[in-house]
Structure formats: C-alpha cells, structure tokens
Structure 1
Amino acid sequence: MNPKIKDLLDNVNNIYPGTVMTRVNGEETGELHIDQASQEILGQRLLIELENKTESDFLLGNELLKMLLTLNGITPQVFFALTFNDETLDEQLIQIATRMHRVVIHAITYRELAKQQITTLETANAYFAGLHEELTPETGEIDDESLWRLLMILDALAFADTINAQHFVSDLQRDYPLAYTAAKKLVQPILSADLKQARHIRHRIISLFTGVDEVLVQWGKPTINAKEYVTVTSVLSKRQLELPVNQVFTIFHSEMTDYQTQKTAYVGLSKTDTQNSFVVSPPENEADKPDFFKELYALKVSDLFRKLSLPYIERL
C-alpha cells in the first residue's frame, strides 16, 4: 500500500465510528473497473475489498476519499426510500442513480488522486482498458446500451480531465460518438464548478439528474426521473433549519411505495430545486391524514429530519 493511501486510511479511521479495513484479492488483470471495489459492514468494522490487484492504490484511495468527504459532511449522499414494487426495475434505477451521483463525487476524488500522484499512466491505461472491455462500439443508432455508455463515459471524462489523456478521449469520440457528445455537454459544468461546498455539489448532482433525463428524451428512451425517485441529502442553512416544513418543502403524493413501510409514499420536495429530500407515510385512516400533514408542515425542519433519522448538511 502506498504510504499516502495508508495516511488516508488513518485519517478515515480517526473519524469513522469503528474500524475501516482493506483487503485486496486476486491478481493483476490490466483492467480497472470502478465496480470492483465493494464495502461490507462487519459489526463495528467496515471492510473495503477489491476483486483484484489492478491499480489497487487508486481504487482504495478513491473509496477512502469518498468516505472522508461523507464523514466530514461535504458530499450529499443518495438514498432509495421508494420502490416500484418491481425488484428488477428498482435495482436498475438504483444502479443508474448511483452512477450519476458518483460522477460528481469522482470529479472531486479523481482530481485529488491525480494531485497526490496516485494516478499514473498505468492507471489511465487500465481505466480505459476496463471501459472498452465493458462497452461495445456504437453502430450509429440508439440501442439498449446507450444509457450505460453515457454513464460510463461521463465518469471517463471526469477521470480524463485529471490527466494528459487526449488519445484516450479520441478513442471515446471514435467508438461512442453519440454517448460522447452527450456526456461532454453534461460533464462540462461539473468539471468547471467549485465543488468545495456541499450546496454546490448537490446542485451539480441534481443538474446531472435533469440533464440525463433530457438526453434520454432526445434519444426516445424512458427517463429515470431521479429527482422524484432518489432522496438526496439536504443542504440547509441555519435559518432554514429553524423554519417550519411548509416554508422549505412541498409534500406530494407519489405513485411509488415507501420501501420501509410498504405503504403509500408522500415525497418532500425542496422548494429550491424540487429534489426528493425525504419520504413519509401518512396514517392509513383517511380521517387521521389532515392532522398528520398539519402537524408535519408545522414542524421545524430540523425536528423533521431528527424525527425521520435522516441526515442533513448544515450550510456554512
């Protein structure tokens, strides 16, 4: 393990309420896949595990940086409190939304890994070898792989922005022109944004949700509608936290189900950006619903999040 990665692990362990461990399995494959890193909670311990040794310092560094950003309250997280009661569809949407969220976070972590000289030419070779292994070249038509190409190329452009990678980017343009064109337009505002503050990061996450849906509409594909489906950590000022819920959020009835209660879901949308910020289930008895919502809207925002055991980030 690179000493810089060891220091990063120590920094995470100084904050994490338990112990974070790492394990690297397998051999070198020459292909880097971001998904080959996984996390497992074992009591008070959290294990970050890699499927193989290819660019293990880069992958471990990326996972540890993401943890550090989360633990320090810098990066908003995504939660999945709604369900379509269709396991396959839910899994697909979770995977897609997680990928979109990760693009924005990787714009931060990839930059830091390059700055710390963890990213090398070998890392780039392995990254793009892994990407080309996962994707098939476009045929000039929109197909079932188009969205997956878009998501992977978004991440690839965030990675390429941190290194001298023009020939890698040229390969993306050649093999995946439709996805590349869309991804370049979507990723540029992320790469040029100031991603040091949580509210700016949240804004870019939500903008990407919207942007991907706009591309899918142009392509004649079903949209993800992550603005309703995905709960994103709220970033609120001290003043907003003291306000009643009805001044900060609008609550509306969703066609989806509350995953936890398996009852009708109501979604709290931020009045600032109309993003899903929390999910509640009212009483089943119709006569009790008016009082439920009256009390909910009157709650202080900070009390609501405490009641829901839902984290939020206080804006500086």
Structure 2
Amino acid sequence: MYTITDPQLKALFDQVQSGYTMPITIQVSGEASGQLLHSQSREVLQPDGTLVIEITDTTDVAYTLSHELLHMLYAASGYPQLQYHLLTGTPELDRQHYATATALSSAALHLLVAQWQRENGFLGADQSAQLQAGFAAVLTPEPQAGDQLLIYRSLSLFDHMTLFAAGGDATQRAQWQQRFPRAYPLAAALYATLTTKPNDSPFAYRRAVVNLFGRFNALIAAVGYAPLNNAEFATVPPVLSKRQLRLALNQVFELKHSAYRDQATKQLAYVALGKGDGQNAFVLPLKETTPEAFQQLYQEPLGAVLDQYHIDYTVRA
C-alpha cells in the first residue's frame, strides 16, 4: 500500500476520503515510462468494500494520483456523473453514444482538474512534456489521404487541449495543426465552446456538457457524419434549485415516450427532458401509463418524484 508523503496531496486525499463511506487505499506499481496517460490509473472496488486506486506507471505518481483523486472529489461534490439507461437497439450505435458523450463530459471535467493541478504545483513544465509524450505515443498523425478516425482524433485532441493553460501555447497549436489538419479545427471549436462560460460549479459543468453535445453534433454534421442524439440518449443528472424541487414535475421537465428502450425494463423508456435545455436528466421506469396516471405524476412536486424513484440530482448552492 502506498503512503502519501506530500502534505498537499495528503490533504486532498483526506478531503476525498471524507466524502466516501468506504475506505480508500492506493497501490502503485510498474516502471516509469516517461509518459503520462490517464489510463495509468483507475478505481477498483474490492469484495471487502475497499476502494483501491491503482496506479500502474511511476513516471509521476503525484500527478497521476492527484488527477484520480480530483475526479473522485468532483463526483462526491455534486458534479453530475454521466449515466446510460437506454438502448437504441443497435449495439454499435450504443457504443458510439457511450464513447462520444463520455469523451465530451470527461474533457469538461479535465479542464477543472488541470487548473487545480497547475495552481497547486502538480502540473508544470515537466508534467506537460510527459503528457505530450504520452499523447504523441497513442494518437497517430492524420494520413494525407484521410481515414476513418477523424472523430476519435478530434475528441482525443480536445481532451488533450484541456490540460494546458488557454488550450495550449502557439507552438503546441502549430504542431497540432500540422499533425491533425482535419481534427484540429473540430477540437479547437469544442475547446472554444467549453471555455465560453465559467465551468466552476456543478450547474456550470452540466451546462457545459450539454452545450458540448450540441456543438459536437453541429461540427460532425458539417463534415459529413450523422449526428448522435446524446441529448436524449445520455443521462446528465440535473442540478436544481430548491425552488425547482418544489415545483410540479411538468413545470421543469417534459416526459417523452422515447423510441429507445430502458435498459432495466426493456420497455420503451420515459425520458425526462429539461424544458430549458432539452437534455435527458433522468429516466423513469413507469408501470402505470394511463392518461390519468400521467396527469397525476405531472402535478407531483419534482423533489418528491426524484426521491420516490431514487434519481440522482444535485441542489444548487
């Protein structure tokens, strides 16, 4: 088991542990590759209920551990965690939804993670060089004739850009434009969308993710790809004011009888779409679907409905 010696990192660990009911331990193994990749760490829940953070590369344990701990801290602090409750009926299409929505939401969170790491001394020149080495090792440049990896490269580059102040310096941007002439404009447009408004609270983070879903669709449609309906397919748990929780369900959300199936019931799903943003905020496993039952449900206080169905949500500060 790994023992944290850095006081600042230990304080972060203690803050994370206070938000989790299960004990958290750390295991560090592996050689130092000289590269930093976010795949070098993961959280594993053990049969005894312990949560283990496994780090498999020792290039910079403090960077990797702080990155993983910050993901856990934001999750415990009410930042919405993407959920998937629906099935399109086509497994490949499901996987496309999973991959794109997860990549976009992760990049939005990495902007916050990297900012904290820079401000607290865990992400400096050495770590930036190691991140660039890792990125170059896993993402090949675009071939001159193009290929079928445009979306993958665009999302990977967008995520990489969030790790650097202002999305990278002039030298980095020139290098990315040279290596990824088709993907870079898409990645840069996503970065601009993400940074248009502050991303400094659960509500702001959720808004950023929803905006990224819409911007991503517009960008890929412009280059000839079919848009993905993550506004309905991907569940982004709501961030609500106390006032909204007292309102009737139909004042805040519209229930849509979706063409997608609920993973749990295998029946056509009932998806709650936000009236303000049209985003899937939760899925209800309804059994009574008569007009009378819907009328009664729509008039119930939103907070009561969320608690009745054990729906995840965050209350705005």
- Give the alignment partner of residue 161 of structure 2, picking from 149, 157, 163: 157
CA distance in 2, matches of 1:232, 1:146: 26
Match of 2:313 in 1: 312
Structure 1 residue 294: Cα displacement: 2.1
Please tell me the residue identity of whatever aligns with 2:226: P
Structure 1 residue 201: Cα displacement: 1.3
CA distance in 1, matches of 2:57, 2:95: 25
Structure 1 residue 303: Cα displacement: 1.1
> Is structure 2 residue 103 aligned with structure 1 residue 102?
no
Structure 1 residue 312: Cα displacement: 0.9
Match of 1:293 in 2: 294
CA distance in 2, matches of 1:163, 1:186: 11
Give yes or no for contact 2:161–2:168 (8 Å, CA) kept in 1: no
CA distance in 2, matches of 1:164, 1:246: 44
Match of 2:129 in 1: 125
Match of 1:17 in 2: 21
Match of 1:49 in 2: 54
CA distance in 1, matches of 2:55, 2:273: 37
Change (3 A) 1:164 1:252: closer
Structure 1 residue 292: Cα displacement: 3.2
> Is structure 2 residue 171 aligned with structure 1 residue 174?
no
Structure 2: which 5+ residue stretches go unaligned?
none
CA distance in 1, matches of 2:96, 2:38: 17
CA distance in 1, matches of 2:217, 2:168: 30
Please tell me the residue identity of whatever aligns with 1:312: Y
> Is structure 2 residue 220 aligned with structure 1 residue 216?
yes
CA distance in 2, matches of 1:88, 1:271: 30
Secondary structure (helix, strand or coil) at the match of 2:290 reads helix
Secondary structure (helix, strand or coil) at the match of 2:130 reads helix
- CA deviation profile, 1:21-67 (whole Å, cap 9, x unmatched): 22222111122221232212224321121232233221211121121
Give yes or no for contact 1:158–1:191 (8 Å, CA) kept in 2: no
Please tell me the residue identity of whatever aligns with 1:292: A
Match of 1:235 in 2: 239
> Is structure 2 residue 68 aligned with structure 1 residue 67?
no
Structure 1 residue 205: Cα displacement: 0.7
Number of residues paired by the alignment?
312
Secondary structure (helix, strand or coil) at the match of 1:17 reads coil
Change (3 A) 1:158 1:69: same
Match of 1:302 in 2: 303
Give yes or no for contact 1:264–1:281 (8 Å, CA) kept in 2: no
CA distance in 2, matches of 1:143, 1:292: 51
Match of 1:258 in 2: 262
CA distance in 1, matches of 2:233, 2:120: 36
- Please report the TM-score for the alignment, with normalisation by the length of structure 1: 0.92
Give yes or no for contact 1:81–1:260 (8 Å, CA) kept in 2: yes
Q: Which moved more, 1:136-145 or 1:4-13?
A: 136-145
Give yes or no for contact 1:265–1:280 (8 Å, CA) kept in 2: yes
CA distance in 1, matches of 2:90, 2:51: 30
CA distance in 2, matches of 1:163, 1:249: 35
CA distance in 1, matches of 2:98, 2:7: 34
Q: Which moved more, 1:102-111 or 1:152-161?
A: 152-161
- CA deviation profile, 1:160-211 (whole Å, cap 9, x unmatched): 2269744333221110122111211221242353222222111111000111
Change (3 A) 1:142 1:212: farther
Match of 1:184 in 2: 188
- CA deviation profile, 1:187-237 (whole Å, cap 9, x unmatched): 124235322222211111100011111111011112222111111120111
CA distance in 2, matches of 1:38, 1:89: 26
> Where in structure 1 do 4 or more consecutive aligned residues deviate above 3 Å?
85-89, 139-143, 162-166
Match of 1:134 in 2: 138
Give yes or no for contact 1:110–1:162 (8 Å, CA) kept in 2: no
Give yes or no for contact 2:249–2:300 (8 Å, CA) kept in 1: yes
Secondary structure (helix, strand or coil) at the match of 2:276 reads coil
Structure 1 residue 267: Cα displacement: 0.9
- Give the alignment partner of residue 268 of structure 1, picking from 272, 277, 282: 272
CA distance in 2, matches of 1:96, 1:164: 22
